[in-house]
Protein backbone atom coordinates (compact mmCIF):
# COMPACT_ATOMS: atom_id res chain seq x y z
CA UNK A 1 0.00 0.00 0.00
CA UNK A 2 1.17 3.49 -0.84
CA UNK A 3 0.17 5.89 1.93
CA UNK A 4 0.54 9.68 2.21
CA UNK A 5 -0.10 11.92 5.20
CA UNK A 6 -0.08 15.73 4.95
CA UNK A 7 0.45 17.85 8.07
CA UNK A 8 -1.62 20.77 9.37
CA UNK A 9 -3.25 22.76 6.56
CA UNK A 10 -2.99 26.44 7.54
CA UNK A 11 -5.36 29.02 6.07
CA UNK A 12 -6.10 29.79 2.46
CA UNK A 13 -2.49 29.34 1.31
CA UNK A 14 -2.43 25.83 2.78
CA UNK A 15 -5.83 24.92 1.39
CA UNK A 16 -4.93 26.14 -2.07
CA UNK A 17 -1.63 24.29 -2.29
CA UNK A 18 -3.20 21.05 -1.05
CA UNK A 19 -6.27 21.13 -3.30
CA UNK A 20 -4.03 22.01 -6.26
CA UNK A 21 -1.24 19.50 -5.63
CA UNK A 22 -2.93 16.53 -4.01
CA UNK A 23 -4.60 15.19 -7.19
CA UNK A 24 -1.21 15.43 -8.92
CA UNK A 25 0.56 13.63 -6.08
CA UNK A 26 -2.05 10.86 -6.08
CA UNK A 27 -1.46 10.32 -9.79
CA UNK A 28 2.34 10.75 -9.59
CA UNK A 29 2.82 8.30 -6.73
CA UNK A 30 -0.15 6.00 -7.50
CA UNK A 31 -1.33 6.51 -3.93
CA UNK A 32 -3.77 4.10 -2.29
CA UNK A 33 -4.71 6.16 0.77
CA UNK A 34 -4.29 9.80 1.86
CA UNK A 35 -4.90 11.47 5.23
CA UNK A 36 -4.77 15.25 5.71
CA UNK A 37 -4.76 17.16 8.99
CA UNK A 38 -7.19 20.07 8.56
CA UNK A 39 -7.46 21.57 12.03
CA UNK A 40 -6.00 24.96 11.02
CA UNK A 41 -7.62 25.14 7.61
CA UNK A 42 -10.29 27.80 8.36
CA UNK A 43 -8.29 31.04 8.70
CA UNK A 44 -5.88 29.15 10.96
CA UNK A 45 -8.47 28.01 13.50
CA UNK A 46 -10.61 24.94 12.97
CA UNK A 47 -12.37 23.72 9.85
CA UNK A 48 -15.65 24.27 8.03
CA UNK A 49 -17.77 21.65 6.31
CA UNK A 50 -17.02 23.24 2.93
CA UNK A 51 -13.29 22.86 3.56
CA UNK A 52 -13.74 19.24 4.64
CA UNK A 53 -15.56 18.53 1.38
CA UNK A 54 -12.94 20.40 -0.67
CA UNK A 55 -10.14 18.29 0.87
CA UNK A 56 -12.07 15.07 0.28
CA UNK A 57 -12.84 16.12 -3.29
CA UNK A 58 -9.12 16.77 -3.85
CA UNK A 59 -8.38 13.15 -2.94
CA UNK A 60 -8.08 12.92 0.85
CA UNK A 61 -9.57 9.71 2.22
CA UNK A 62 -9.73 11.10 5.77
CA UNK A 63 -9.28 14.46 7.50
CA UNK A 64 -7.90 14.61 11.04
CA UNK A 65 -8.10 17.41 13.61
CA UNK A 66 -6.49 18.53 16.89
CA UNK A 67 -6.73 21.18 19.59
CA UNK A 68 -8.60 23.57 17.25
CA UNK A 69 -11.13 20.89 16.29
CA UNK A 70 -14.16 22.84 17.48
CA UNK A 71 -13.02 26.45 16.99
CA UNK A 72 -15.64 26.74 14.26
CA UNK A 73 -18.81 26.13 16.26
CA UNK A 74 -20.69 24.57 13.33
CA UNK A 75 -18.24 21.68 13.57
CA UNK A 76 -20.19 20.44 16.59
CA UNK A 77 -23.05 19.72 14.19
CA UNK A 78 -21.52 18.66 10.89
CA UNK A 79 -18.82 16.40 12.39
CA UNK A 80 -21.56 13.84 13.10
CA UNK A 81 -22.44 13.48 9.41
CA UNK A 82 -18.88 13.73 8.06
CA UNK A 83 -17.78 10.14 8.62
CA UNK A 84 -14.27 10.74 7.30
CA UNK A 85 -13.62 13.71 9.63
CA UNK A 86 -11.80 12.42 12.73
CA UNK A 87 -11.22 14.38 15.96
CA UNK A 88 -8.90 13.34 18.82
CA UNK A 89 -10.02 10.05 20.33
CA UNK A 90 -9.19 11.18 23.88
CA UNK A 91 -11.71 14.03 24.06
CA UNK A 92 -14.12 13.41 26.96
CA UNK A 93 -16.95 10.93 26.58
CA UNK A 94 -19.92 12.58 24.86
CA UNK A 95 -17.86 14.84 22.57
CA UNK A 96 -19.45 14.86 19.10
CA UNK A 97 -17.74 12.96 16.32
CA UNK A 98 -15.40 10.01 16.26
CA UNK A 99 -11.76 9.50 17.21
CA UNK A 100 -11.14 6.61 14.83
CA UNK A 101 -12.59 5.35 11.57
CA UNK A 102 -12.14 2.20 9.49
CA UNK A 103 -12.05 3.28 5.85
CA UNK A 104 -11.57 1.56 2.49
CA UNK A 105 -8.44 2.33 0.47
CA UNK A 106 -8.27 2.45 -3.33
CA UNK A 107 -6.60 -0.97 -3.37
CA UNK A 108 -9.47 -2.47 -1.35
CA UNK A 109 -7.62 -2.56 1.99
CA UNK A 110 -9.30 -1.53 5.24
CA UNK A 111 -7.39 1.29 6.92
CA UNK A 112 -7.95 2.30 10.53
CA UNK A 113 -7.24 6.01 11.06
CA UNK A 114 -6.80 7.19 14.66
CA UNK A 115 -6.43 10.80 15.79
CA UNK A 116 -5.19 11.56 19.31
CA UNK A 117 -4.02 14.63 21.19
CA UNK A 118 -1.09 14.92 23.57
CA UNK A 119 -1.31 16.30 27.11
CA UNK A 120 2.14 17.81 27.70
CA UNK A 121 1.78 21.62 27.33
CA UNK A 122 -1.72 20.99 25.96
CA UNK A 123 -5.26 20.55 27.30
CA UNK A 124 -5.67 17.96 30.05
CA UNK A 125 -7.66 15.40 28.10
CA UNK A 126 -8.04 11.68 28.74
CA UNK A 127 -4.83 9.65 28.41
CA UNK A 128 -3.97 9.30 24.71
CA UNK A 129 -1.87 6.19 25.32
CA UNK A 130 -4.72 4.29 26.95
CA UNK A 131 -7.25 5.52 24.39
CA UNK A 132 -5.06 4.38 21.50
CA UNK A 133 -4.25 1.10 23.23
CA UNK A 134 -7.98 0.36 23.61
CA UNK A 135 -8.53 1.03 19.90
CA UNK A 136 -5.59 -1.12 18.82
CA UNK A 137 -6.82 -3.93 21.05
CA UNK A 138 -10.32 -3.75 19.57
CA UNK A 139 -9.07 -3.53 15.96
CA UNK A 140 -5.75 -5.33 15.65
CA UNK A 141 -3.40 -4.99 12.71
CA UNK A 142 -4.09 -7.67 10.06
CA UNK A 143 -7.09 -8.88 12.06
CA UNK A 144 -9.48 -5.93 12.18
CA UNK A 145 -7.56 -3.68 9.77
CA UNK A 146 -5.09 -4.15 6.92
CA UNK A 147 -3.24 -0.96 7.89
CA UNK A 148 -3.38 1.42 10.86
CA UNK A 149 -2.33 5.08 10.89
CA UNK A 150 -2.12 7.36 13.94
CA UNK A 151 -2.01 11.18 13.76
CA UNK A 152 -0.69 12.25 17.18
CA UNK A 153 -1.39 15.95 17.63
CA UNK A 154 1.04 16.93 20.37
CA UNK A 155 3.51 19.61 21.43
CA UNK A 156 6.29 17.67 23.16
CA UNK A 157 8.69 15.62 21.07
CA UNK A 158 9.21 13.28 24.03
CA UNK A 159 5.50 12.46 24.19
CA UNK A 160 5.39 11.79 20.46
CA UNK A 161 8.48 9.57 20.54
CA UNK A 162 7.09 7.68 23.52
CA UNK A 163 3.88 6.98 21.63
CA UNK A 164 5.88 5.70 18.65
CA UNK A 165 7.64 3.21 20.92
CA UNK A 166 4.34 2.31 22.61
CA UNK A 167 2.64 1.25 19.36
CA UNK A 168 5.68 -0.06 17.46
CA UNK A 169 4.67 -3.26 15.70
CA UNK A 170 0.95 -2.64 16.29
CA UNK A 171 0.42 0.21 13.82
CA UNK A 172 1.60 0.79 10.27
CA UNK A 173 2.60 4.42 10.82
CA UNK A 174 2.58 7.23 13.39
CA UNK A 175 3.11 10.87 12.46
CA UNK A 176 3.04 13.86 14.76
CA UNK A 177 1.30 17.15 14.06
CA UNK A 178 0.76 20.50 15.83
CA UNK A 179 4.19 22.19 15.83
CA UNK A 180 3.95 23.08 12.10
CA UNK A 181 7.66 22.30 11.78
CA UNK A 182 8.80 19.17 9.90
CA UNK A 183 11.34 16.99 11.68
CA UNK A 184 14.18 15.06 10.07
CA UNK A 185 13.67 11.79 11.95
CA UNK A 186 11.40 9.78 9.68
CA UNK A 187 12.29 6.11 10.03
CA UNK A 188 10.92 2.60 10.44
CA UNK A 189 11.01 1.61 14.11
CA UNK A 190 12.47 -1.79 15.14
CA UNK A 191 9.14 -3.67 15.07
CA UNK A 192 8.01 -2.17 11.77
CA UNK A 193 6.03 1.00 12.47
CA UNK A 194 6.91 4.05 10.35
CA UNK A 195 7.47 7.11 12.52
CA UNK A 196 8.00 10.88 12.14
CA UNK A 197 7.89 13.27 15.11
CA UNK A 198 6.17 16.03 13.14
CA UNK A 199 4.98 16.07 9.55
CA UNK A 200 5.10 19.87 9.36
CA UNK A 201 2.42 22.10 7.88
CA UNK A 202 0.91 22.83 4.51
CA UNK A 203 1.16 26.60 4.28
CA UNK A 204 3.49 29.58 3.93
CA UNK A 205 6.72 28.88 5.83
CA UNK A 206 7.83 32.53 5.54
CA UNK A 207 5.78 33.17 8.67
CA UNK A 208 5.46 32.25 12.33
CA UNK A 209 3.83 28.80 12.32
CA UNK A 210 1.89 29.77 9.22
CA UNK A 211 0.74 33.14 10.58
CA UNK A 212 1.80 36.59 9.43
CA UNK A 213 4.76 37.55 11.59
CA UNK A 214 3.72 41.01 12.82
CA UNK A 215 1.25 39.99 15.53
CA UNK A 216 3.34 37.13 16.97
CA UNK A 217 6.38 39.43 17.06
CA UNK A 218 4.37 42.14 18.83
CA UNK A 219 3.23 39.68 21.47
CA UNK A 220 6.74 38.35 22.04
CA UNK A 221 8.16 41.88 22.32
CA UNK A 222 5.44 43.52 24.42
CA UNK A 223 3.30 40.67 25.85
CA UNK A 224 0.31 42.70 24.61
CA UNK A 225 -2.08 41.43 21.90
CA UNK A 226 -2.60 44.09 19.23
CA UNK A 227 -4.82 42.17 16.85
CA UNK A 228 -5.79 38.78 15.52
CA UNK A 229 -3.45 36.16 14.17
CA UNK A 230 -3.81 36.10 10.38
CA UNK A 231 -2.61 33.23 8.16
CA UNK A 232 0.32 34.11 5.93
CA UNK A 233 -0.64 34.25 2.27
CA UNK A 234 2.66 33.83 0.43
CA UNK A 235 3.86 30.86 -1.64
CA UNK A 236 3.07 27.66 0.22
CA UNK A 237 4.62 24.24 0.70
CA UNK A 238 3.01 20.83 1.01
CA UNK A 239 4.60 18.92 3.90
CA UNK A 240 4.01 15.39 5.12
CA UNK A 241 5.27 11.85 5.06
CA UNK A 242 5.01 8.98 2.57
CA UNK A 243 4.94 5.38 3.73
CA UNK A 244 5.10 2.12 1.83
CA UNK A 245 3.16 -0.51 3.78
CA UNK A 246 3.68 -4.24 3.23
CA UNK A 247 0.34 -5.79 2.28
CA UNK A 248 1.20 -9.10 3.95
CA UNK A 249 2.11 -7.71 7.38
CA UNK A 250 0.54 -4.25 7.51
CA UNK A 251 3.89 -2.88 8.67
CA UNK A 252 6.05 -0.26 7.00
CA UNK A 253 8.85 -1.12 4.62
CA UNK A 254 9.92 2.39 3.60
CA UNK A 255 9.23 5.96 4.72
CA UNK A 256 10.24 9.38 3.44
CA UNK A 257 9.43 13.00 4.30
CA UNK A 258 7.49 14.91 1.65
CA UNK A 259 8.13 18.64 1.14
CA UNK A 260 7.17 20.27 -2.15
CA UNK A 261 6.89 24.02 -2.66
CA UNK A 262 8.51 27.26 -1.58
CA UNK A 263 11.00 28.16 1.18
CA UNK A 264 12.04 24.62 2.24
CA UNK A 265 14.37 22.12 0.62
CA UNK A 266 12.18 19.76 -1.37
CA UNK A 267 11.90 16.07 -0.51
CA UNK A 268 10.03 13.35 -2.39
CA UNK A 269 9.66 9.60 -1.89
CA UNK A 270 12.32 8.58 -4.39
CA UNK A 271 11.29 4.92 -4.09
CA UNK A 272 8.06 5.87 -5.91
CA UNK A 273 9.52 8.34 -8.41
CA UNK A 274 11.32 7.07 -11.49
Which residue among 68, 153, 178, 180 is the active-site one?
A: 68
Q: Are 54 and 19 in contact (CB under 8 A)?
A: yes
- Of 96, 101, 104, give the one whose Cα is nearest residue 113: 101
To the query of whether residue 68 is one of the catalytic residues in this protein, the response is: yes
Give the rounded distance of the alpha carbon of 124 from its chain centre: 20
**Buried b / exposed e along 103-114 (16+ C-beta atoms within 10 A):** bebeeebebbbb
Q: What region, left, alpha or beta, does residue 103 occupy, with left being phi > 0 and alpha being psi -120 to 50 degrees?
A: beta
CA gap 35, 133 in Å, rounded: 21
What residues are labeled active site?
Answer: 68
Amino acid sequence: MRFLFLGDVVGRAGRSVVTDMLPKLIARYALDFVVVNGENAAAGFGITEKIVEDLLDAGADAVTLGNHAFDQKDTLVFIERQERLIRPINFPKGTPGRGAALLRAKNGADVLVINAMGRVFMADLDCPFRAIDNELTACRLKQGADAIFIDFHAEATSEKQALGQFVDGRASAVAGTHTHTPTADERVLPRGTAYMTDAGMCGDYNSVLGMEADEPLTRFLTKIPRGRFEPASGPATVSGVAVEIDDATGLASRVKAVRIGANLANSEPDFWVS
